[in-house]
Chains A and B, each alone.
Chain A
């Protein structure tokens, strides 16, 4: 079945540091890939997505590229801010209409001033 593996946290960075959160997946076919963000006390928000190989999803300065050859979808940001402190979830769904979403375990990011 489908699965998502993401790096364990917490990740602690200083403001303006470079962020990478690794995510790899196992799936058949061509899944869609997502990053969700959960700010403290809130529900999940879709941060970005990519639906086919080599697509780059981007939003709010975050980027992730769908790498089919390495089955990866790593999240990056060039300069993090304190307001980026949250839990980040990598997720995937199968192709062809709606498929159930499989979530990773989440990576907590803490950015200190």
Chain B
């Protein structure tokens, strides 16, 4: 299994500012993902962040808005840039362990934009 921590656990931010969310994993993993969970909704994949390559963004998400860093096999950051109230969500970091390809999630970062 994998233990994932995220910082901050929650934040309230002003519109137009940026927030960087950190994700730390207790073991080395190749595949790491960032999801968004809007209030009362399911999870939406933002991007895949594999170490050693550029992040791959899903349709509707762009690097200028959600830049991602993946400096090593245990750490990643997601920045939510130029925030608006529509960005208010829970942001979840997730990893997949090689074989049997089980996916684990962090506790999430609850972001409120005012």
Interface residues of A (CB under 8 A from B): 32, 34, 36, 42-46, 49, 51, 89, 93, 97-98, 100-101, 103-106
Kindly identify which residue among B31, B41, B102, B107 contacts A105, using a CB–CB cutoff of 8 Å.
B41
User: Which residues of A have CB within 8 Å of B103?
Assistant: 34, 46, 93, 101
Nearest CB in chain A to that of B109: its residue: A43
Interface residues of B (CB under 8 A from A): 4, 31, 41-43, 45, 92, 96, 100-108
CB–CB A43/B42 < 8 A: no
User: Which residues of B have CB within 8 Å of A105?
Assistant: 41-42
CB–CB A42/B107 < 8 A: yes
A104 and B44 alpha carbons, distance in the complex (Å): 10
CB–CB A93/B42 < 8 A: no
CB–CB B31/A43 < 8 A: no
Nearest CB in chain B to that of A95: its residue: B101
Given contacts A89-B43, A100-B45, contact A43 B96 (CB under 8 A): no
A101 and B96 alpha carbons, distance in the complex (Å): 10
Chain B min CB distance to A21 (Å): 14
CB–CB A46/B92 < 8 A: no
Chain A min CB distance to B37 (Å): 9
CB–CB A106/B42 < 8 A: yes
Kindly identify which residue among A32, A45, A104, A106 contacts B105, using a CB–CB cutoff of 8 Å.
A45
